[in-house]
A and B are shown apart, each in its own frame.
Chain A
Amino acid sequence: MIRPDAPVLLEIRDLTARVEDQPILKGVSLTIRAGEIHAVMGRNGSGKSTLSKVLAGHPAYTVTGGSVRYMGDDLLTLEPELRARAGLFLGFQYPVEIPGVSNLEFLRVATNARRAGKGEEELDTFAFEDLVRERLQVVQMDPAFLERSVNEGFSGGEKKRNEILQMALLEPLVAVLDETDSGLDIDALRIVAGGVNHLAGPDNATLLITHYQRLLDVITPDYVHVMAAGRILRTGGKELALELEERGYDWVDAELAALERTPAEVG
């Protein structure tokens, strides 16, 4: 839902970042307002996950320039856990397994950390059990997953559902979902997409990273961005995704080549 007067939640300007000595993000700009759903598409290796991890504060990536303001504050000086408590959420492309840490305990600690960030009181184990059981419905997940270690031995699709369960519990203001649709069967895709739609509202925003139109058939984006070689090369409405589906990414090369030739003119 586009409302030009809605408050800006996330404002990324000319963001550049490297991993070790290799520049990956080469000037990303993106403004996200409350109520909006953005989709980021682009070839493998174009920097989509890097963007998401830089936003979440992954220590492997060094920001070399530009700025990110979140709710008006400088996001980049915050520790990752403070970003999360302030309502930024990253659904990982590859959620890691954490053997020995109970999923239920993890979800409870995470939920309470976020609640503290909102100035809400901590939930005790009983109150949390009630909440988690309710939120499990959103992703139609079996409560048995709560008893296991975080993501340990989960199938690819189960890991993704666990990500959306976390999102449902943490109630983020800005959710960045990195290929949450990959590896899902058709039913699971519908469930996950249903979950995302259910959680999307006028006060929050979603940034979907995806390769597939089939996700955008169920979650209608307000904006579609195409990333290439660490930049956002083009931005359009939902029809841009359909165009990509038809034409592929060949045109990207031509535009990139043009950019390389005349860097000064495009800034």
Chain B
Amino acid sequence: MYQIDDLTKTYRQGKRVVRALKDVSLTIGDGELVAVQGPTGGGKSTLLQMLGGLDRPTSGTVKLDGKDLAGMSDTQLTAARAETIGFVFQNFNLIPTLTALENVETALVPSKIARQSRTARALAALDSVGLGDRGDHLPGELSGGQQQRVAIARALVKNPKVLLADEPTGNLDEETRDEIVDLMVGLWKEQGLTVVLVTHDSVVAARTPRRLRIAKGAMKELPPR
């Protein structure tokens, strides 16, 4: 699914230059579930941004399905994010003024499908995360775990090839964390997705077949268990 070669990302902050990723090379196969671990500031989120086409690498290539994200135009990147890549965030990032159902629907807005089938698909996605009856609730009326379920439904409603999650359980208590991890692992198994899960929680990482560690911009593979 992903073929990453010599990926480097540097940030310039005034005079200071931060090398968030240094010559990272990595292959992620179709349908893999990979955990990315590491200390804070190590470069985990930066890697996820590169994988998701949210930002451009300073050098190197990030091939998704054989196409280099680094060489794509803004429009192409936008299309890739709209169709191929699903995101889940630590802070859920739901639109506070829209209901759960409408939040899920926002992911289908770029694909311009008819309103009725959009709503039907969003409802089905909410159902699959166990919130079929909470569609008309605003995010503020839902618990953290429920909000993250809505966010997962939003990420998956468009049937992406890749699911990228940045600390999806970082803001949740242990019990809810386990529910969410169960849900994600379950969906991964069902739908044959490729999942990259950034976490500094080793309990979460322990649920995945493959683990990577990034520290100071350098990446290494952790031994499988």
> Do A and B interact?
no
Which residues of B are in contact with A by a Cβ distance under 8 Å? none
Which residues of A are in contact with B by a Cβ distance under 8 Å? none
